[in-house]
């Protein structure tokens, strides 16, 4: 199981909202000074994402909690996010190249199909469905 410590930023009924910071491996890399990836990731490093999940432990705003995701769920998310759109792009390019003579039309339709697979994957995947609240690390003193 992959675990992460995060802060609770909102609570509504049986649901809580957590704020998770985006991380990059660039912080520990010795080549980060001359790397383009490090420069690009620096643009987004301060941003955090907010996720809503079931409050099984009674956490409140300001608490620090540990959330986790099963290894298999993490792999499924990676396949949906990276492998599926790539496969859709390759397969549709092969199919459309047999149907149409125009290369531009093949490229346009294949990219549209790939973007459609991104949308389909996002629409069919519930937000934070595989994320579970494991324990409360510290409680706020509000």
pLDDT in tens, 45-84: 556 778 888 888 888 888 888 888 887 877 887 888 889 9
For the chain, percent helix, then strand, then coil, each to nearest 5? Answer: 45, 25, 25
| 38-43-44 Cα angle (round to 5) | 100
Give the range with max mean pLDDT: 96-100, 118-122, 132-136, 138-142.
96-100
Q: Where in the sequence is the domain holding 108, given as residue range(s)?
A: 2-138
Across residues 23-31, what is the average pLDDT? 57
> How many domains, in total, are found in the chain?
1
In the chain, DSSP finds a helix count (H) and a strand count (E) of 4, 5
Give the range with max mean pLDDT: 16-25, 40-49, 71-80.
71-80
- Sequence-ordered list of residues with C-beta below 8 angstroms from that of 9, at least 6 positions apart, any chain: 17, 18, 19, 50, 61
**Nearest CA among 95, 87, 71, 142 for reference residue 120:** 87
């Amino acid at each position: 199981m992959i675990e992460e410590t995060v802060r609770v930023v909102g609570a509504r009924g049986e649901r809580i909202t957590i704020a998770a910071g985006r991380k990059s491996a660039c912080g520990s890399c010795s080549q980060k000074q001359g790397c383009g990836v490090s420069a690009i990731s620096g643009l987004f490093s301060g941003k955090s994402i907010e996720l809503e999940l079931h409050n099984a432990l009674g956490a409140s705003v300001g608490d620090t909690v540990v959330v986790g995701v099963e290894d298999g769920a993490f792999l499924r998310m990676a396949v949906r996010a990276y492998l599926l759109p790539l496969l859709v792009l390759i397969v549709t390019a092969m199919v459309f190249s047999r149907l149409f003579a125009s290369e531009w039309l093949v490229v346009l339709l294949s990219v549209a199909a790939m973007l459609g697979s991104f949308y389909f994957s996002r629409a069919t995947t519930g937000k934070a469905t595989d994320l579970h609240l494991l324990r409360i690390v510290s409680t706020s003193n509000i």
